[in-house]
Structure 1
């Protein structure tokens, strides 16, 4: 859940030129700086889409974004 509050860089290999492409955890696509190809991240479900406690987490995330207490995260 931390990556929902503070996105982190991830690295994907460009299928066009095999260069390493940086894509942030909250992004779905990036442009390869080597060849200009559009890299689309494989869709994966967030825990907010399947977890039965997702509503509680959404509340905590919104509170944290507003500068509230994040000790429950």
Structure 2
């Protein structure tokens, strides 16, 4: 495997990992719920917020951390 092929394989793996899970915000029962959604669309709640802005900020930070980690 050449260095360019290796770099391309690593980049593809990073992109695949980033697409598998994503943090999203949905309105639930009068509040804002932070969910982790996997690649096939299943989601589970992590925590609840009273303000949309705070929930969205948390989702943005977690998504960014996930991208940096990959």
TM-score if structure 1 supplies the norm length?
A: 0.30
Higher relative contact order (CA 8 A, sep 6+): 2
The structure carrying a bigger strand percent of its residues is 2
TM-score if structure 2 supplies the norm length?
A: 0.30
The structure carrying a bigger helix percent of its residues is 2
